[in-house]
Amino acid sequence: MNTKVLATGATTLLVLAAATGCSSSSGSTGSSGNDGKVAGKSITFVAGKTGDPFYITMKCGAQAESQKWGVQFTATGSVDWSVPEQVASVSSVTSYHPSGVLISPVDPHSLEGPIKTLQGNGTKVAIVDTTLADSSIGITRISSNNLQGGEKAADTMAGLVSSTGEVVVLTPDLTTTTTNSRIQGFKQELAAKFPNVKIDDVRQVGDTAQGAASAVTDELSAHPGLVGIFTANSQTGEGVGTGLKNSGKQGKIKVVSFDAGPQQVAALQSGAVDALISQDPYGIGQQAVDQLVASLTGKPVNGGIQTDLASITRDNVSSPTVARFLYKTDCGS
């Protein structure tokens, strides 16, 4: 994840401008007209980490879709990936009584109580990106197909290392549902299709680039035959590039990383990483608003939606077909 943060306080709502530079994808089901059923309604986005381009892009999609429906839109969230910060954000949002909320829980258990309270006050809740252990919470769950993302990472890694050799996996933690699904998909795909690519280690490094950079040195020492590293999120990807450069191994060890913010794309183009597995956060934001509006207007709601991912390399990063998978740092870009 990007270490740049927005000025958004953890418990302060930002009322966003009605007009944005974000454009809707072809998958949107919103309506540019307002039939009166959503007049006076409001939707709030609670991000997992406000300064991360992934969540900024999701906010852009939700904001643009809310504008199409004529719904007031606000945003808040955690500056850091922090349970206490997000609990405080949810408590603040609950006091505002918004009509609908889309939220990316930073923990599958700790946020259940606060979100249940929010939902119990009459707010419709869409769970986005990450998830909760209690499947009864929320009207819908919308996320990338992270298992598929792990499979794409395995396929891409196998191609880079000629389907043989030792690899390691670096992840911020082993509790976040999204990264766990990516690791599961990576393991399953290698076992099923590329048995000569062996996973030597799955290591927790924390959600910082510094932690990942330090881990690279240890992994290179422990596994001298290492040919590849899969990083389960953007922050670990940034750190791996630094660690390999410091060790004189950049370009020699293949790196497949998740997410495609500006820093990740720059790392790809410079050769610090070799491939990015990118999500569609803009589409997740759009879909969440559409499902919230459906619920608020008494229409059928899709209870589970998984969005596509793309494997991005230096060969296709400039292709129009992958443009929608590149993340934003603001809604005007």
pLDDT surpassing 50 at residue 179:
yes
Residue 70 inside a domain? The answer is yes
Q: What is the DSSP string of 165-205?
A: EEEEEEES-SS-HHHHHHHHHHHHHHHHH-TTEEEEEEEE-
Q: Are strands 100-103 and 72-77 parallel, antiparallel or unpaired?
A: unpaired
Residues 191, 135 share a domain = no
pLDDT surpassing 60 at residue 15:
no
Q: Are strands 14-15 and 72-77 parallel, antiparallel or unpaired?
A: antiparallel
Residues 183, 82 share a domain = no
Question: How many domains are there within the chain?
Answer: 2
pLDDT surpassing 70 at residue 108:
yes
Residue 124 inside a domain? The answer is yes
> Domain of 89?
14-143+280-307
Convert the pLDDT of each residue in 17-74 to its tens digit.
333 333 333 344 444 444 568 889 999 999 999 999 999 999 999 999 999 999 999 9
Which alpha helices (DSSP H) does the chain contain, by range?
A: 53-69, 83-96, 112-120, 146-160, 177-193, 209-222, 234-246, 262-270, 281-296
Residue 322 inside a domain? The answer is no
pLDDT surpassing 50 at residue 97:
yes
DSSP category for residue 161 = T
Angstrom distance (rounded) from CA 258 to CA 244: 17
Angstrom distance (rounded) from CA 321 to CA 319: 5
| Confidence tier at 293 by pLDDT (50, 70, 90) | very high
- pLDDT value, residue 253: 95
Contacts 24+ apart (CB under 8 A), 85-92: 85/10, 86/10, 86/46, 86/48, 86/111, 87/111, 87/114, 88/10, 88/11, 89/10, 89/11, 89/46, 90/46, 90/114, 90/115, 90/117, 90/118, 91/11, 92/11, 92/12, 92/13
What is each CA distance from 229 to 26, 174, 276, in whole angstroms? 34, 17, 12
Q: Are strands 197-204 and 226-231 parallel, antiparallel or unpaired?
A: unpaired
DSSP category for residue 300 = -
- pLDDT value, residue 58: 98
Residue 330 inside a domain? The answer is no
- pLDDT value, residue 297: 96
- Tokens representing 53 are 């381009």
Angstrom distance (rounded) from CA 101 to CA 127: 8
Convert the pLDDT of each residue in 124-141 to its tens digit.
999 999 999 999 999 999
- pLDDT value, residue 206: 86
Convert the pLDDT of each residue in 233-259 to its tens digit.
877 888 888 899 889 999 899 999 999
Residue 271 inside a domain? The answer is yes
pLDDT surpassing 70 at residue 10:
no
Residues 151, 73 share a domain = no
Residues 258, 214 share a domain = yes
- Tokens representing 73 are 């839109």
- In the listed set 229, 260, 278, which residue is the last one of a domain according to the structure? 278
Residue 176 inside a domain? The answer is yes
Residues 175, 271 share a domain = yes
Mean of pLDDT over the chain? 88
- pLDDT value, residue 37: 80
Which residues neighbour 77 within 8 Å (Cβ) at sequence distance 6 or greater? Answer: 8, 10, 45, 46, 47, 48, 49, 50, 55, 86, 89, 104
State whether residue 36 is helix, strand or coil. Answer: coil
Which alpha helices (DSSP H) does 5-130 contain, by range?
A: 53-69, 83-96, 112-120
- pLDDT value, residue 133: 94
Angle between helices 146-160 and 177-193 (to 10 degrees): 50
Residue 274 inside a domain? The answer is yes
- pLDDT value, residue 209: 84
Residues 170, 105 share a domain = no
Q: Please state the rounded mean pLDDT for residues 294-319.
A: 95
Residues 172, 115 share a domain = no
Angstrom distance (rounded) from CA 62 to CA 42: 12
Q: Please state the rounded mean pLDDT for residues 88-100.
A: 97
pLDDT surpassing 70 at residue 177:
yes
- pLDDT value, residue 36: 62
Angstrom distance (rounded) from CA 168 to CA 153: 12
Q: Higher-confidence residue: 16 or 209?
A: 209
Residues 30, 20 share a domain = yes
pLDDT surpassing 60 at residue 288:
yes
Residues 176, 121 share a domain = no
Residue 331 inside a domain? The answer is no
pLDDT surpassing 80 at residue 14:
no
Residues 270, 151 share a domain = yes
Q: Please state the rounded mean pLDDT for residues 6-14.
A: 35
| Confidence tier at 3 by pLDDT (50, 70, 90) | very low
- pLDDT value, residue 333: 61
- pLDDT value, residue 35: 55
Q: Which residue in the block uniquely carries the two structure tokens 């410091």?
A: 246
CATH code where residue 49 lies: 3.40.50.2300
Residues 229, 171 share a domain = yes
Residues 153, 66 share a domain = no
Q: How many degrees, rounded to 5, is the angle at CA 174 between CA 194 and CA 77?
A: 120
